[in-house]
Structure 1
């Protein structure tokens, strides 16, 4: 047994120890088994050749380059605290409600709690950092690991997640009970008909048992109905692995074919094969299939020891009444993931250092330890964002008001505008598509668009990127009820893992990491997009500007307009010629004054947080042969009656000393007839 002082030292260290090489997934780092081998990852903005040439010349760079990171390569160094907030303090309750949860622990005659066993002694190579605990100490250990700041959990808790996600409205208290010995073996609860398709139950056993019912009965027999009624919900924590975090790593990632699964990963019944059916694909090892799949129902959820803290936040979301919003990443035919790493009720549950293939560790200190916040649609449904912090627009109202501009703040920060919703009056007009034939088909029938900003801080530290998140949403929980608009819909073309025979396995089209580069960015040459036009629904979205203030808070200026009408305002523009000299880098910068000569007419009232007395202009520049003209921004917003500067960069060809004149055109997006042409003269 490890002395208590040694366990405390391990908790303070907080670094997962290595599992034996035999238990590590193929291609893993032997010292950090959750790290997978990946081929070199090129930043997507580097694929934009004009921007790459400009950067190489020592000239201007994109104003908002996309530098996404796959979850697999993240470490705890990626965490950044939210400025001015300490949501982890358990003494600070939720301003609206602090939920009281019961953590009820259950083990089995054939499966004690893994943290009570010697280090790396299970077939899965667990436990990792904490081991040899007395059975009586396990309830307090998991209560503290999940909900009291400490070294092992890096100071992060379920209470902190909900306080941060809700802006301090919802908190979580946990009381621990058990350990209760279940009347059946662990696999009798883990193997059930819907995922194992009736396969793999050892002779003499009864599979498909209800763990929730048996654990609840044991808890009620111990504490009584009156004590149980003091709790708002129940987390049932089962000893052992969970199948969600185990089926792939100890199935297709460890064995090339199902017939290669070794006896160590097989069943106790020699008449059964060593493989078994599982949820998403045809097979995994029997040992992986026999573990619990996390789930929620009737005010409670079921987890196992490898279920990271995010799993509890995910399941509690179900308890509060929001459904799942994800696909089968390995389905045939394939279908793109719905909301990906950006949403707790999608694959944002998997977020945390090490990414999705590190979720099998016990305790769960890597992937799924710090899940994403909820997206705006779900925050509104859960009542955890102020109504006056959301700009409510509609397609019809935009036709009457003209273009609307607003600044949206990162969702981790309770400051300013949290997001924008645009109602699709009369319904979604997208053309019909067939998900069975088109993996990028969103299925249609959406009610709204949402616009929000994600920054890699707080629980969003382990999202892949910072930028503007655009989505189509439904009011009903009919998945997909959030569909992330992907700014880079092409195949991300990255290696997921290396198979046991050395073959690289690429991420499927349905893999949630395909959406790692989905966010929109301001300006040109970023590797992402600065605008999105939904012509079928008559809407155009623009990402105009990015700002990070002195406190480190990120915000974006965005615009939305209707394609069906520009409102009653008069549109006009003038542009003034500018002159610049070529610098030693070979580049010159012209600052073109652009004046909005339009006039504001009486129009419907603009919602708080928005500006309507302005226009969005598109800029273009044409250089003569041999010269290069580059615009950091191709769209800009200027208030009526005001002037703003537009930058035009011009590069002189090597070997010439002559000057040039570049034609610059400025055109209103609201009224293309309102246009002005001027020039950038380069000396």
Structure 2
């Protein structure tokens, strides 16, 4: 029999084998070398600021004088992240419970329930369960559990590293929405935990022990117990309810304690089997044929109007995800193991997709109790959902339309990272309405895993930076997506700048065989962001010919406060607008450096009245940028790197009017 402690160790080793490093700091202790009395923001602020590292990497890494990418992609899989990846948003302290939402602070009830056969795991000895839990917090008295989980979820402290549900919503909404929690319970349910956890939609009618009644309504029984204790009048004072169930949740255990632990369903051990000897040790689960019976018997987090259901292993992001449903937005994710396969919809970039899983250790660390790893620091909402929730100002979103772009010509602007308040003159993003609907050619998800299904009404463009709750997203860059007005999944479809199979190991099977990420795995979108310039490992432009739109990522900037922004542009393929387009360019010369490269800086000027995007070409040369944006009547410059030749021609051509062009040269002086 595998003990809980050995299981915890074995799974940790398996995760480490594929780069999934779990944070080994005891959950109740300060990080090594930290003074426990030091304010938590100071403990977790790095000595080198993230933008300093960012710029050094972007500008270095090659021979002196050699051409370098201006915005190299450096994505990281969620599995390898640790708490050291967290970066605070400059100038904010959204976790401060004294700071209220400017529009609303929601008043929530946290109602805790346990079972005759399942006490709260944090009341048990360390690593004593078959899952190797609890970790770091143990032997609490039952009476202490409500206050413990209330504080773990919503009071900044050492265990939660200062991060709370209130902080998530304050950051995501730029201070509009906050959350207060009051705890109630613990109330014991009248039936065994598996009678609530095993239900027809996921277990397909299988696995219910003889004499038991499965598929019971946990929410109804929990609410009844709460009402009996506090009364209808007290319960009615709360805006919503989080029901917290003792034990694991199935979402966080079906894979880790199924195919990751056992080679076949017949290999599932008695320890992970049912209390009924007539039943097999495996059972059906949501996404694949089988998991261990014990994993299948755990509740699956879910939400209905006004309330949600979680378990002890549900990380803080699970609560943020479910609260999004309470506010009226649906799920936007696929079955990563479905047949036929289908690519994930919005991946790690969106709370209502698999961004819920973000946090140190990634998706396979979500079974820890308490939930201090994966699903502890979920992604912000993407622009479409922020607009629907009303948590971004109208004037912070540049609203365009396909038809209007054909009349106006190219639009160029700067978009700020979404973790930062877009107050003042900053933009949170762009929304382009597809007048008349999506014109993409028909495709079938049954035969094409990359088929978006069609029927979209908009494009959105926003900037993601790895800071705040986006610290555990895989990359910083420009996020482009197609969206629908209604929540008909997929209602956000991320445009993948690297659509090819990411070809990474997901986990190692019990027999030692590496298991690659499926085409449907959300981490396939880890390298989806667009980057400025050439040679980044990503794309700097995207053309949707059917929908007659061309998007550009032109330049990247990080200001002295560390705020990331991108200069971007979008134009119609059906019209350049009334503005006259023109460009001038002058020749330049340069001497080779020690690396043998000569760098010419070519002066150019947009002679047109309005902003324009220019495409640069120089056969035989290396161009850090192939497209540049220049304001009307303004000068700019482009760099051309030449090696081994004396002279190369350089052409600068308007994207709006290809007839508006200038030809010059880069000459190498010896």
Q: Cα distance, 1:597 vs. partner?
A: 2.0
1:225-283 deviations in Å (ceiling 9; x for gaps):
01001100000000000000000000000001000000000000000000000000000
State yes or no: 1:284 paired with 2:270.
Answer: no
Aligned to 2:236: 229
Determine the C-alpha separation between the residues in 2 that align with 1:125 and 1:146.
22
Rate the CA distance shift 1:492–1:322 in 2: closer, same or farther, 3 A.
Answer: same
1:198 pairs with 205, 211, 215, which one? 205
Contact kept in structure 2, 1:38 and 1:495, CA below 8 Å = no
Correspondence 1:374-523 to 2 at 5 A:
374-415=381-422, 416-523=426-533
Flag as ranges the 4+ runs of structure 1 deviating above 3 A.
23-26, 33-36, 51-58
SS of residue in 2 equivalent to 1:144? helix
Change (3 A) 1:553 1:499: same
The whole-number CA distance in structure 2 between the counterparts of 1:329 and 1:58 is 45
- Secondary structure in structure 2 of the residue aligned to 1:460: helix
Q: Show CA shifts across 1:74-119 (max 9, x none).
A: 0000000000000000011100000000000000000000000011
Q: 1:295 aligns with which of 302, 308, 312?
A: 302
- Conserved? CA contact 1:119–1:126, under 8 Å: yes
Rounded to whole Å, the distance in 1 between the matches of 2:290 and 2:61 is 50
After superposition, the Cα gap between the structure-2 partners of 1:468 and 1:19, relative to the gap in structure 1 and judged at 3 Å, is: farther
Q: Is the 8 A contact 1:38 1:497 kept in 2?
A: no
Q: Partner residue of 2:622?
A: 630
CA distance 1:678–1:405, shift in 2 (3 Å)? same
With structure 2 as the length reference, what TM-score do the two structures score?
0.92
Contact residue 35 and residue 354 of structure 1 kept, 8 A:
no
Q: Find the residue that maps to 1:120 and give its secondary structure.
A: coil
Q: Which moved more, 1:576-585 or 1:463-472?
A: 576-585
From 598, 616, 622, the equivalent of 1:619 is 616
Mapped contact 2:59–2:70 kept (Cα < 8 A): no
| Stretches of structure 1 lacking an aligned partner (at least 5 in a row) | 1-17, 41-50, 601-612, 624-628, 653-658
Q: 8 Å contact 1:196–1:276 — kept in the other structure?
A: yes
Deviation for aligned residue 1:614: 1.2
Report Cα offsets for 1:520-578 as digits up to 9, x if no partner.
00000000000000000000000000000010000000000000000011111221111
> Contact 1:390/1:421 (CA < 8 Å) preserved in 2?
yes
Paired residues for 1:83-122 under 5 Å: 83-122=90-129
Residue 651 of structure 2 is aligned to residue 673 of structure 1: no
SS of 1:532 mapped into structure 2: strand
CA contact (8 A) 1:523 1:530 kept: yes
Give the whole-Å Cα distance in 2 for the aligned partners of 1:229 and 1:630: 67
Secondary structure of the 2:322 match is helix
Distance 2:267 2:159 in 1: 36
Alignment of 1:169-208 (within 5 A): 169-208=176-215
Q: Alpha carbon RMSD of aligned pairs, Å?
A: 1.6
Kindly provide the CA deviation profile for residues 23-45 of structure 1, in whole angstroms up to 9, marking residues without a partner as x.
Answer: 4455x33xxx75452499xxxxx
Output the CA distance in 1 between the equivalents of 2:437 and 2:292. 46
Match of 1:367 among 346, 364, 374: 374
Residue matched to 2:634: 642
The answer for unaligned runs of 5 or more in structure 2 is 22-57
* Equivalence for 2:595: 585
User: Structure 1 104/331 Cα, relative in aligned 2: closer, same or farther at 3 Å?
Assistant: same
Partner of 2:343: 336
Partner Cα separation in structure 2 for residue 220 and residue 34 of structure 1: 43
Task: Give per-residue Cα distances to partners, 1:644-675, cap 9 Å, x unaligned.
Answer: 111001123xxxxxx60111111110111111
What's 1:608 paired with? Answer: none
CA distance in structure 2 between the aligned counterparts of 1:677 and 1:54, rounded to whole angstroms? 32
Report deviation, 1:298. Answer: 2.3
Query: How many angstroms does 1:52 deviate by?
Result: 14
Aligned equivalents of 1:136, 1:338: Cα separation in 2: 42
- CA change 1:557–1:76 in 2 (3 A) is same
The answer for the alignment partner of 2:649 in structure 1 is 663
- CA-CA distance at 1:640 after TM superposition: 2.3
Corresponding residue for residue 40 of structure 2: none
Please name the residue that 2:26 is paired with.
none
Rounded to whole Å, the distance in 2 between the matches of 1:178 and 1:136 is 8
Q: Name 2:313's counterpart in structure 1.
A: 306
Distance in 2 (alpha carbons) for counterparts of 1:218 and 1:39? 40
Structure 1 residues 548, 19: CA separation in 2 closer, same or farther (over 3 Å shift)? Answer: farther
Structure 1 distance, partners of 2:193, 2:310, is 13
Counterpart for residue 70 of structure 2: 63
The answer as to 2:568 corresponding to 1:576 is: no
Equivalents in 2 of 1:275, 1:19: separation in Å? 18
CA contact (8 A) 1:87 1:168 kept: yes
CA distance in 2, matches of 1:674, 1:462: 44
Structure 1 residue matching 2:62: 3-state secondary structure? helix
Return the alpha-carbon distance in structure 2 between the equivalents of residues 285 and 258 of structure 1. 7
Residue in structure 1 matched with residue 82 of structure 2 by the alignment? 75
Q: Is the 8 A contact 2:100 2:178 kept in 1?
A: yes
Paired residues of 1:54 and 1:60 also in contact (CA < 8 A): no
Name the CA shift for 1:450/1:475 in 2 (closer, same or farther; >3 Å): same
What does residue 159 of structure 2 align with? 152
Q: Is the 8 A contact 2:20 2:79 kept in 1?
A: no
Measure how far apart 1:643 and its partner are: 1.7
